Amino acid sequence: MNTCNICGGTGWEFIKEGELNTARRCPACYFKKTQIKRLSSALIPSRYEHCTLASYHPQHATQKKAKQIAIRFIEEYPDINSGLFFMGTCGVGKTHLAVATMRSILDKGFSCIFYDFRELLKKLQHSYNTESELTEEEVLKPVIEKDILLLDELGAQKITSWIRDTLTYIINRRYNDNKITIITSNYMDNPVRSKEGKDEEENLTDRIGYRLRSRLNEMCKVVVMDGQDFRLNRQTALQHHEK
């Protein structure tokens, strides 16, 4: 383990103020300590812990573009007005890129929190139980107040009036406080629909409602990600279906 070259691992830096020898908290160790705290309170699931920009290897032009957008976002944050909405089918690395972006912002010293959409709803519902350790307010506080909220898999659960009210509350609070939100969703604005014109493939508005969709449009830049493999598989599946 590396010993801190400012404080030698004591946590205190000895300095001279005029004739006086004095000590102050070591700035490097203090940053590291708060960084560890920030990281653990970001609630990144262990399966995404190792997601970094360096380990994201784009396979498709839209993925490459998405990575560039993420890099610019990180450079510019916090001088930025809108968040990012990574939209695309399974397996294109939306969550990887979103987590990597959030981690980089965290490394700049900002507070972040990760929530899977369904997990957040589950946690809120659980908070209504009398045995619950946390109240609804305590669950919502970091979701509303952290500098960055990463909401993963938006739309994964079909909307009910309770979900709509909850989501609207979170989104509006963050919007009014100019907080940046990063979102991922498997649901697209314009999904490929089958030739028969049946809406078997729901779009994002079907999943979360028109008002929320349009509010999110004001808050986030949409980044559509595509995967070549998926497209091929899909075409094969459609052809297969037509036979």
28: contact with Zn ion by CB under 5 A: yes
Among 7, 44, 171, 219, binds Zn ion (CB under 5 A): 7
Q: Are 204 and 155 in contact (CB under 8 A)?
A: yes
Nearest CB to Zn ion, comparing residues 35 and 228: 35
Q: Which is closer to Zn ion, CB of 36 or CB of 134?
A: 36
Closer to Zn ion by CB, 6 or 53: give it: 6
Q: Which residue type occupies 75? A: E
Pairing of strands 83-88, 220-225: parallel
Number of amino acids touching Zn ion (CB under 5 A): 6
Number of H helices, E strands in the chain: 9, 7
Q: In the bound complex, what is the minimum distance in angstroms from residue 38's beta carbon to Zn ion? A: 18
Inter-residue contact 124 to 169 (CB < 8 Å): no
Chosen residue from 26, 97, 148, 188 binding Zn ion by CB under 5 A = 26
The single-letter DSSP state of residue 146 is: S
Smallest distance from the beta carbon of 52 to Zn ion, in angstroms?
Answer: 25
Tokens of 99: 């987590």
Position among 2, 29, 63, 224 found at the interface with Zn ion (CB under 5 A): 29
The yes or no reply on residue 36 touching Zn ion (CB under 5 A) is: no
4 binds Zn ion (CB under 5 A): yes
Q: Which stretch binds Zn ion (CB under 5 A): 18-26, 133-141, 145-153, 213-221?
A: 18-26
| Residue 178 near residue 141, CB atoms below 8 Å | no
Provide the CA 222 distance to its chain's centre, in angstroms. Answer: 13
Instruction: Report the residue number, 4 or 159, with the smaller CB distance to Zn ion.
Output: 4
Give the C-alpha distances (Å, rounded to integers) separating 178 from 39, 142, 171. Answer: 22, 15, 10
3-state secondary structure 201-221: CCCHHHHHCHHHHHHHHHHEE
What is the closest distance, in whole angstroms, from the C-beta atom of residue 109 to Zn ion in the complex? 17
Give the nearest distance from C-beta 29 to Zn ion in angstroms.
3
**Residues engaged in binding Zn ion (CB under 5 A):** 4, 6-7, 26, 28-29
